[in-house]
Structure 1
Amino acid sequence: MAHHLYRLGTFAFRRRRYVLVGWLLALGLTLGGSMLWSGTPTNGLEVPGTEAQQAIDTLHREFPQSDAGGASAQVVVATGEGRTLADPAAASAVTALVTRLGTAPQVAGVTELDERSTSADGRTGIIEVTFTARGDDLTPAAQEGLTAALDGARAAGLTAEAGGNAIDGQPALGNAEIIGVAVAALVLLLTFGSLVAAGLPLLTALLGVIIGFSSIALASAVVDMPSAVSTLALMLGLAVGIDYALFITSRYRSELARCHEPQEAAGRAVATAGSAVVFAGLTVIIALAGLMVVNVPFLTVMGLGSAGVVAIAVLIALTLLPALFGFAGHRIISKRVWRKPATRTLGHRWVSLVLRRPLIAVVAGVAVLGIAAIPALDLRLGLPDDGTAAADSSPRKAYDLIADGFGPGYNGQLTVVVQGPDVSTVRTTVAAVPGVTAVSPPRTSDSGTVSIFQVIPATGPTDPATTGTVEAIRTATSALPGGDVSVTGITAVNIDASQKISDSLLPYLALIVGLAFLLLLVVFRSVLVPVKATLGFLLTIGATFGVMVAVFQWGWLNGLLGVPATGPIVSMMPIFIIGIAFGLAMDYEVFLVTRMREEYVAGADPRAAIVEGFAGSARVVSAAAVIMISIFSGFMLSPDLQIKMPGLGLATAVLVDAFLVRMTIVPAVLALLGRRAWWLPSWLDRALPDLDVEGSRLQVPSPTGPEPAPAVELVR
């Protein structure tokens, strides 16, 4: 493998103009194509095989204009103290609001206020607005018409806010990506001490992100593409794109320091660091593509779309980067960063400290991570609603107004779909279930075969008690003879989706860990190193979930981190964090341990191999981790909880895994294992393909003669 990558690197270096033109052409084609052909991102949630989804499919068929089937908005109006909506001035303002809403673009219908839609104190009312299109297909004019109607009601003295799936809820990134890139640029400059060397990883990463974004936009023309795919692609594309280029650039500079000519150095950098990039990228791709096992369409699309962006980052690092080395030449190294190799680096000092007491390092590291993981025992899953929106947003204000005026359960109404049994019997049965405060009159479809009615629980949508209420309703109605009764609505969909994703966590984890174990077995030609790598990841993920529960469920540091409200962890976050964090954890494992194995294969004893391999890669791995943490932390500045949550989770995972697991526990465990760390049964050694990831058999003629011993060390 190293030989093939060496040839690829030298080819890209020699034919750099053709390679550069090829990637610029790919950029132009994807960017231009996305401007001509692209679809509208979707925000819908479909969970095949669940009771709630099957009921929604029935509603789409039997009640095409029902709330469950189309875009809707809940417009909430309220008066101040001492006034009610029945007062002449308030009633006139409400009438004008209903009229404006009815004439807004794409509006199919608007309800009037009545006794059911007005709170008991008469001060809060809910106006239901339905649209002729899905929320994803509403035009800007429709959004503007809704906003104008609200502004008119406010000018008349009412409090007016709106929530629902018709409200524009595209994730807001704010300045997250700008801050992440700025910090990455600073870290690269401090690491390399050269503007040229710092600029190459940024340039290639941004190119990869743009091509990935454009490809996703093109794919959205034929596939329903969740809006969150772009956010995830940006987050991952920047992080892995910079990191992969950073590792290869660092190795290229090291090869130049060994007095190799630039072309030879580029080939060797791609052959060695490039091999690690290939396998690191494969682990991330496996983890993301493995989301297909959950069998939730939007998770599958998000996983495959993000895996495609990672694949682009790997290809750019292996081809475009060595081509750019050809343009940069020796300018990638500033003269001020050359010096004699007599000093011990910080990496030398740290790993020597760890190896002095390896057992203590392992025990202390595991203890810290175990304590951090304790809150994860209280992990609850759910999906975000308007109650977790930013406190100053209209949907959050509407949510709070409804909860104050009608009770928390009004925000989490359930829909009971009845096919067959007498609907009055079903209503009576449901009304008697503990936790149900009210049921609405039934509606029957035009075919006369399906009836529906609304159920208002006593607790809010994300309250664990509401899950118990849904389960109790399903249990009570399952005993009724002669037909089919199902519970749906956004609250029930969220409960079913969370349960399905939760049930998929262990099979998904087993799949990606199993595939990655086989991959690492081939890379390291060792049984114990892959086992150690995966066990270390379990420590990382436990601590990560512990931090997320403490912040988002328990409310620790909420004010500092700008978390608008506590609640369950978004149901798809754990499986995403597991997939992405596992891939990134294996990145650091591959980059660190392959350098140690290089030294071991070259003849060093196990302890010396750990020290020299660690010292040779610790600086660049630390820089890569800081860049990842900076990019992910930047997304925590977003007001959107669905962006803030993975930002904190992934930043925590990288911090814990890179510095505590890979750079502390891993060298300590390897030192305790000694030569046994590289043990492989002879029969398995013969069966596995030898890919020569370390480049130990890389024999290529150098234009400068035999390979020289390093005369200088490249440090800063």
Structure 2
Amino acid sequence: MAKALYKLGYWVTGNKRKIISGTIALLIALAIFAVNMGISFSEDMSMPNTESADAGELLQKEFSSSKGKSGGQVQLVFKAPKNETLDSEKVNKVIEEALSEIKKGDSEVASVATPVALGNLTKDKKMGYATVTYKVEAGDVTDTSKENIKKNIEITKDAGVQTELAGTVAFSKTEAGGPAEGIGIIIAFVILAVTFTSFLAAGMPILTAIIGLGIGLLAIVIGTNFMDIPSVSLSVASMLGLAVGIDYALFIIVRYRQQLKEGYAVRESIAIATGTAGSAVVFAGITVIIGLLGLSVTEIPFLTAMGFAGAFSVLIAIFIAIIVVPAVLALMGHKIGPSRKNRLLDKITGRNKKQDSSNKWGEFVVKRPFIVTILGIGLLVIISIPFFHMNLGLPDNGTKSVETTERKAYDLLSEAYGPGVHSTLVVVAKTNNAGEDAQKAVNSMGDKIKDISNVKTVSPAIPGSSGKVFMISITPETGPGDQKTKDIVHSIRGKSTSEVELLVTGQTAADIDLSEGLSTALVKFAILIIGFAFILLVIIFRSLLVPLKAVLGFVLSLGATLGFIVFVVQDGHFLDLFGFPSTSPILNFLPVIVVAILFGLSMDYEVFLVSRMREEYIHTGDARKAILAGMKNSGNVVTAAGLIMVAVFTGFMLTSDPMVKIMGMALTFGVLFDAFIVRLAIVPAVMTLLGKSAWYLPRWLDKILPNIDIEGETIMKTVEKQKKTEKNTNPVEKGRRKMM
């Protein structure tokens, strides 16, 4: 692979303008296609083959008069003005007028119903909700229809009636970009400027990453017209595409500048950088892609689609790094070479030659390996403790910003009817026979459900079309994310008998099934990923203990990441600091996503750091010297790469959407823990304690393992050999030797 990439680098430099113009043309073409085809994201985040899914299908069959799916609904939640009630003639007239205008202004509206007609007014008549039902599914309700509702509820608002919006139709969508993400890019630019001591060089990785991100996201948007892709996939792809795109360009540019500094020509430097750093980039990208594609083992469609979208974004970042970045380098030439200094940056950072050659942190770790190991492991273990009481769930309107209408509606409904109004359960009771005996058996079962702790109300059983299936609605005392609500679901399912089988469905039950399914999948997925990482690192590093140390470090950083998220989001510590409006369960697919992404990133840092140590150890046989060499030559690159990742992910953490926010936070702290505590502290400390034994590999195993040259050592040997040959055959050089 290294030799092929070396040749690719040579080819790119000769076709630089064609490649750059072709890439821009591709970006423009995709943009035109995306605009013409539109966006069609799927908001179905369900898990097939669960009890709630099966019960939902049975419910649809028995109680739906039409074969199609039910239309989307919007709840207009009202709170009467002071000293007024919703059933008063004045207020009710205003509500009816607003609803009439909503129906009149939109042909897609099937029906409207006032709170009085629905009979849902609270005891004091101060609060209630109207319902607008559409002819189309919730996901197909147009922005024009939503604007129609927003415009007409001003009628009730102007009359002093607080009016907020809830229901299955979303009025705020997942964010995939915005000012917050721009902050991360600015911070990344500053880090790159300090790393390169050049504003021009700092802009290159960001520019190429944005181009790659644009290509990836536009292709995903086009793909939504052909397959089911959840909207949150765009945020995952954005985070990954931008972060790895900048990092991969950084690795290649750093190597290019090193080769120029050693006296190589521009074209040769680009070819070497593409063959060496490019090989590491391809390997790093493939590990991230494998982790994301591995999400398919969960057998959950939306998660598989999310993994494919993220993997595609990373794949584009790889192509941009090994093709477009070398082309831009060829165009810029010596303009971003190491000889070009930036006095302003040198002055700001206080950088000088002595500091460039120092290795204070590496020397500190090597001198105190036991203390660093104990402190590092101890810190991560302590942070991991909250992980063991993690409660998974899906964010609802109660986790949105207090400024959104959905959150205000959520709070009003909780105030009016209790938190259980958001976690209504639907029980499907299946009997062997129809008739009075079946009705009696189901009614008896309903009485038993009433006795379950934390159940607020149980509706009378309603028979379905066959007479053998009945529907019972249950309202718990607690909200959808509460553990007590989960206990109710399990208790109901446990009461099934030979005469009556109880199935629980509804959105709350579906979310519970999904969370539990993901918990089971997480264990299988983590074992698969860790096993793959160990085998891969054994092949790369020709060692048993180094890979073992690497995967255990990954487990530590993963545990600390999830533990910290639980500590903040679920337990409620520092909520204001991180901008979370309230406590909530942990996003149910977050652990699996974090495992997939953090696995790839942690292996990247491990390879970039330890491969340099291995190279030095092979040459010198000195384990301590190898660790210092790795920390000195690769530590700064890993530091810069980690800081860039943190900067980009922090930008997403600053968004208001709860899904994007928690994913951004998890990846931010995941990289912080893994790059700076595990890879730059625990790894060198443990390797110092292990000494030469760290590199032990049985001879029989060494013989059968394939040799993967991800650092391009064979290329450098070939280049050095050619250089010596050219030097020896140079007539001027020969004459000079004779004179000597």
- TM-score normalized by the length of structure 2: 0.91
The answer to whether structure 1 residue 696 and structure 2 residue 696 are counterparts is: no
Give the alignment partner of residue 473 of structure 2, picking from 432, 454, 464.
454
Give 1:150's aligned residue.
153
**More displaced, 540-549 or 234-243?**
540-549
Equivalent residue, structure 2, for 1:175: 179
What residue ranges of structure 2 are gaps of 5+ in the alignment?
Answer: 432-437, 728-740
The aligned residue for residue 32 of structure 1 is 32
What are the Cα deviations for residues 68-97 of structure 1, in whole angstroms up to 9, with x where unaligned? 844222221111343222222122222223
Relative to structure 1, the CA distance from residue 447 to residue 113 in structure 2 (aligned partners, 3 Å threshold; closer, same or farther) is: farther
2:649 counterpart of 1:632: yes
1:193 to 185, 190, 197: 197
Distance change in 2, residues 1:288/1:35 (3 Å): same
Q: Which amino acid aligns with 2:368?
A: R
- Using the TM superposition, name which of 176-185 and 602-611 deviates more: 602-611
Supply the distance in 1 between the matched residues of 2:78 and 2:35 (Cα, whole angstroms): 40
The answer for the alignment partner of 1:589 in structure 2 is 606
* Cα distance in 1 for residues equivalent to 2:83 and 2:445: 41
Q: CA deviation at 1:225?
A: 1.1
Superposed displacement of residue 426, structure 1 = 4.3
Alignment of 1:225-304 (within 5 A): 225-304=229-308
Inter-partner Cα distance in structure 2 for 1:534 and 1:194: 36
Q: Provide the C-alpha distance between the structure 1 equivalents of 2:60 and 2:406, rounded to a whole number of angstroms.
A: 25
Residue 482 of structure 2 corresponds to residue 463 of structure 1: yes
Q: Which residue of 1 aligns with 2:564?
A: 547
My pick for the range that moved more, 182-191 or 146-155, is 146-155
Q: Is the 8 A contact 1:279 1:519 kept in 2?
A: no
Deviation at 1:128, TM superposition (A): 2.5
Aligned to 1:524: 541
Report if the CA contact (8 A) 2:642-2:671 is conserved: yes
Quick one: distance in 1 between partners of 2:624 and 2:26? 47
- Structure 1 position 428, deviation (Å): 3.4
Q: Are positions 1:612 and 2:614 aligned together?
A: no
SS of the counterpart of 1:343? helix
Distance 1:264 1:387 in 2: 58
RMSD across aligned C-alpha pairs, in angstroms?
2.4
Using CA pairs under 8 Å that are at least 6 residues apart, name the structure with larger relative contact order, 1 or 2: 1
Q: Quick check: 1:367 aligned with 2:397?
A: no
Q: Is the 8 A contact 2:399 2:581 kept in 1?
A: yes
- In the alignment, what sits opposite 1:48? 48
1:604 Cα deviation from its structure 2 partner = 5.3
Corresponding residue of 2:16: 16
Contact 1:120/1:405 (<8 A) preserved:
no
The superposition leaves residues 389-424 of structure 1 with CA deviations (integer Å, 9 ceiling, x where unpaired) of: 111211111111111111111121111223435354
Offset of residue 354 of structure 1: 0.4
Q: CA 1:346 to 1:135, structure 2 compared with 1: closer, same or farther past 3 Å?
A: farther
Map of 1:413 onto structure 2: 424
Distance 1:515 1:480, change over 3 A: same
Match of 2:244, SS?
Answer: helix
Equivalent-residue separation in structure 2 for 1:274 and 1:565 (angstroms): 44
Q: Displacement of 1:458 after TM fit? A: 1.2
Aligned residues of 1:75 and 1:127 also touching (Cα < 8 A): yes
1:359-392 deviation per Cα after TM superposition (whole angstroms, max 9, x unaligned): 1111111111111112222211111111111112
Secondary structure of 2:170 counterpart: coil
- The SS at the match of 1:133 is coil
CA distance in 2: counterparts of 1:169 and 1:233, whole angstroms: 20
Deviation at 1:326, TM superposition (A): 0.9
Q: Which amino acid letter does the alignment assign opposite residue 487 of structure 2?
A: G
Paired letter, 1:464: Q
- 3-state SS in 2 of match to 1:456: strand
Distance 1:147 1:159, change over 3 A: same
One-letter amino acid matched to 1:481: E
Q: Which moved more, 1:656-665 or 1:333-342?
A: 333-342
Alignment length (residue pairs) = 706
Instruction: Identify the range of structure 1 (95-104 vs 271-280) with the bigger mean alpha-carbon deviation.
Output: 95-104
Match of 2:78 in 1: 77
Give how far 1:265 is off: 1.2
User: Residue 16 of structure 1 contacts residue 326 of structure 1 at CA under 8 Å; is this kept in 2?
Assistant: yes
Going from structure 1 to structure 2, the CA distance change for 1:90 and 1:284 (only over 3 Å counts) comes to same
Alpha-carbon distance, 1:304 to partner? 0.8
Taking the aligned partners of 1:98 and 1:170, their CA distance within structure 2 comes to 24
| Structure 1 match to 2:738 | none
DSSP-derived class of the 2:163 partner: strand
**Greater displacement, 650-659 / 316-325:** 316-325
Q: Distance in 2 between matches of 1:267 and 1:11?
A: 9
Correspondence for 2:2? 2
Aligned residue type for 2:489: V
Structure 1: 5+ residue runs without aligned partners? 709-716
Q: How far does residue 449 in structure 1 lie from its aligned partner after superposition?
A: 5.6
Contact preservation (8 Å) 1:39, 1:222: no
Are residues 523 and 264 of structure 1, via their aligned partners in 2, closer, same or farther at CA, if it must alter by over 3 Å? same
Worse-matched range after superposition: 623-632 or 141-150:
141-150
**Contact residue 591 and residue 621 of structure 1 kept, 8 A:** yes
User: In the alignment, which residue of structure 1 is the partner of 2:731?
Assistant: none
Residues 68, 489 of structure 1: 8 Å contact kept: no
CA spacing shift, 1:268–1:40, aligned 2, 3 Å: same
Deviation of 1:474 after TM superposition, in Å, equals 1.7
State the 1:555 CA deviation: 1.4
Q: Is the 8 A contact 1:355 1:671 kept in 2?
A: yes
Check whether the contact 2:95–2:114 (CA below 8 A) recurs between aligned residues: no
- Counterparts in 2 of 1:335-484, with a 5 A limit? 335-337=339-341, 343=354, 345=356, 348-420=359-431, 421-422=438-439, 423-445=442-464, 450-476=469-495, 478-479=496-497, 481=499, 484=501
1:120 matched to 2:113? The reply is no
Q: Given that residues 289 and 315 in structure 2 are in contact (C-alpha distance below 8 angstroms), is that contact kept between their aligned partners in structure 1? A: yes
**Given the superposition, is the C-alpha separation of residues 575 and 289 from structure 1 closer, same or farther in structure 2, using an over 3 Å criterion?**
same
**What SS does structure 1 have at the residue aligned with 2:582?**
coil
The structure whose Rg is larger is 2
Q: Distance in 1 between matches of 2:558 and 2:357?
A: 28
Q: Aligned AA for 2:646?
A: I
| Secondary structure of 1:691 counterpart | coil
Question: Residues 526 and 26 from structure 1, CA distance in 2 versus in 1: closer, same or farther, beyond 3 angstroms?
Answer: farther
Out of 149, 162, 166, the residue aligned to residue 165 of structure 2 is 162
